[in-house]
């Protein structure tokens, strides 16, 4: 039966190959594998979700017509990806697996095997692996911080997957701080506080993403404080991620800040060129994409911001090649990425630019930012400038203090906390700061 199916599929491919360009055929059809033929249905395996979507959206009728030409009958087509059973064959084992995956909420694509190690993330990767190998014994809590799209979430999910692979009975919970907050609010409104606490305190591993968003939310911080204590005292593993280290999260309670610093703090920086190229090669390999090395080097040299944009650019180039029926060349990549690359070079925001914009909007002199004057007319705009510098530049707290007259980093923290609180309470001030921010970004 398998041999007959292979013969049928080879005949189908011969018909399709004539209808497509070599690039489209090699990219989308060549990697498809026939799985079974029964009940007037042919099940085909696509290498990944992306290819599966393209096949279903663009080539389904072409494949159906080619099959009909070969077997002289109409057949339904069902696409699956490796490791996935067809809809008609899914049983209790798959259902149980889906339930488990929903419980832990881990992305199956985020594992240690798919994580590309470079100088920018080597320490964070080593720390994550150590925690995964010995939960609650190596570093507890593990606090990972870094910019958007640099791999924090990937490492957190990888830890969860590794722990579950070693002990499937481990209770692993991944949650964003926003979801934690929303569930807390709902539990209070619906009088289900006990149920909420049981959910988060009777687990073995808690992974909380983007913890910075609980800053300023007193009720959430109070509940998380007690959840943290309950888990830590029970020798359960806690992994936390943020876009900045604990000491730089504004309006975060000191008792939480200190607990976040109990274990190990690991940072992830933006990847260098070599790591970006390695990331693209890994992505192309996982997705079975045929992309010349020179194209990946071109993309890596143009996209610096984060890994998600980097991988998205690769997919965009491949899709553009297929949709236009053209070979993947530097010229095609330039055309496909012209909007991304132009937008990937934002206006550089400096301290001097921030001082100039704030001084114009609050009618003070540039020298006032570094002066010792403490009148509200001077101190308040100075605090806003410090806040904007913290939000819009990569300067550390001590460096920001130096730029504003050699002030201590605790002064900068106070300024950021104060302005952050004022923005939540004063809509007019928020509108004014948003206006200044937009001007600084060139919006």
Same domain, 122 and 12: no
Here the CATH number for the domain that contains residue 410 is 1.10.1750.10
Q: What is the pLDDT along the chain (443 residues), one digit of tens a residue?
A: 445 788 888 889 989 988 888 777 888 888 888 888 877 888 888 887 778 888 888 889 899 999 998 888 888 899 887 655 444 454 444 444 443 543 447 888 888 988 989 888 999 999 999 999 989 887 889 999 988 888 999 999 999 999 998 888 889 999 988 889 998 998 888 888 888 888 898 899 999 999 988 888 888 899 999 999 999 999 999 999 998 899 888 778 889 889 999 999 999 988 888 889 999 998 888 888 888 999 999 999 888 768 888 888 998 898 888 888 888 899 999 888 887 775 545 557 889 999 999 998 888 999 999 998 889 899 999 999 999 999 888 888 888 999 999 998 889 999 999 998 898 888 889 988 988 988 887 65
Same domain, 156 and 221: yes
Here the CATH number for the domain that contains residue 33 is 3.30.300.180
Round the CA-based radius of gyration of the chain to a whole number and report it. Answer: 27
Q: What is the pLDDT of residue 94?
A: 41
Same domain, 263 and 298: no
8 closest CA partner among 33, 28, 25: 33
Q: What is the pLDDT of residue 3?
A: 56
307-324 vs 293-302: helix crossing angle, rounded to 10:
130
Binding-site annotation: residue ranges:
149, 151-153
Binding-site annotation: residue ranges for ATP:
149, 151-153
Same domain, 244 and 280: no
Same domain, 75 and 34: yes
Neighbours of 252 (CB within 10 A): 22
Say what the pTM is: 0.59
Q: What is the pLDDT of residue 91?
A: 41
Same domain, 209 and 291: no
The whole-angstrom separation of Cα 245 and Cα 135 is: 22
Structural tokens at position 363:
């009618």
Per the domain annotation, does 405 fall within a domain?
A: yes
Q: What's CA 102's distance to the chain center, in Å?
A: 18
Task: Report the C-alpha dihedral over residues 195, 196, 198, 199, rounded to 10 degrees.
Answer: 110
The whole-angstrom separation of Cα 97 and Cα 34 is: 25
Q: What is the pLDDT of residue 342?
A: 58
Same domain, 240 and 374: no
Q: What's the structural domain count of the chain?
A: 4
Neighbours of 344 (CB within 10 A): 14
Here the CATH number for the domain that contains residue 322 is 1.10.8.60
Same domain, 255 and 131: yes
Which domain does 338 fall in, by range? Answer: 273-344
Residues in the chain, total:
443
Structural tokens at position 162:
């590794």
Long-range pairs, 59-65, Cβ under 8 A, ≥24: 59/16, 59/28, 59/29, 62/16, 62/19, 63/12, 63/16
Per the domain annotation, does 97 fall within a domain?
A: no
Q: Please list the residues that pair with 33 across neighbouring strands.
A: 45
Same domain, 54 and 13: yes
Per the domain annotation, does 6 fall within a domain?
A: yes
Contact predicate 263/246, CB 8 Å: no
């Amino acid at each position: 039966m398998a041999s007959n199916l292979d013969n049928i599929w080879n005949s189908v491919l011969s018909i399709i190959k004539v209808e497509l360009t070599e690039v489209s055929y090699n990219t989308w059809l060549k990697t498809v594998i026939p799985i079974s033929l029964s009940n007037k249905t042919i099940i085909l395996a696509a290498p990944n979700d992306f290819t599966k979507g393209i096949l279903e959206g663009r080539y389904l009728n072409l494949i159906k017509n080619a099959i009909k030409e070969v077997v002289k009958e109409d057949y339904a087509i069902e696409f699956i990806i490796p490791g996935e059973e067809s809809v008609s064959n899914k049983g209790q084992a798959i259902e149980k697996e889906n339930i488990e995956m929903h419980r832990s909420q881990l992305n199956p694509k985020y594992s240690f095997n798919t994580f590309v190690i470079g100088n920018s993330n080597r320490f964070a990767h080593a720390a994550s692996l150590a925690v995964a190998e010995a939960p609650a014994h190596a570093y507890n809590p593990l606090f990972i911080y870094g910019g958007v799209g640099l791999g924090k979430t990937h490492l957190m999910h990888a830890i969860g997957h590794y722990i579950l692979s070693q002990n499937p009975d481990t209770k692993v919970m991944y949650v964003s701080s926003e979801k934690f907050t929303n569930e807390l609010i709902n539990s209070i409104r619906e009088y289900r506080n006990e149920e909420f606490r049981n959910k988060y305190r009777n687990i073995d591993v808690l992974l909380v993403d983007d913890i910075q968003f609980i800053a300023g939310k007193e009720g959430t911080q109070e509940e998380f404080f007690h959840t943290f204590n309950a888990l830590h005292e029970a020798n359960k593993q806690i992994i936390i991620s943020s876009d900045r280290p604990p000491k730089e999260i504004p309006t975060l309670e000191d008792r939480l800040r200190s607990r976040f610093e109990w274990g190990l703090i690991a940072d992830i920086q933006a990847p260098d060129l070599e790591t970006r190229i390695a990331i693209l090669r890994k992505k192309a390999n996982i997705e079975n994409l045929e992309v010349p090395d020179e194209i990946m080097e071109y993309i890596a040299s143009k996209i610096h911001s984060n890994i998600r944009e980097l991988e998205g650019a690769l997919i965009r180039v491949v899709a553009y090649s297929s949709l236009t029926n053209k070979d993947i060349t530097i010229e095609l990549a330039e055309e496909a990425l012209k909007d991304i690359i132009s937008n990937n070079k934002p206006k550089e925001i400096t301290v001097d630019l921030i001082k100039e914009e704030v001084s114009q909007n609050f009618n003070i002199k540039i020298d006032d930012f570094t002066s010792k004057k403490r009148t509200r007319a001077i101190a308040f705009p100075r605090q806003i400038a410090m806040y904007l510098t913290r939000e819009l530049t990569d300067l550390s707290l001590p460096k920001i203090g130096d730029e504003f007259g050699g002030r201590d980093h605790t002064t900068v923290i106070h300024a950021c906390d104060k302005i952050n609180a004022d923005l939540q309470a004063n809509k007019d001030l928020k509108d004014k700061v948003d206006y200044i921010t937009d001007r600084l970004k060139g919006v």
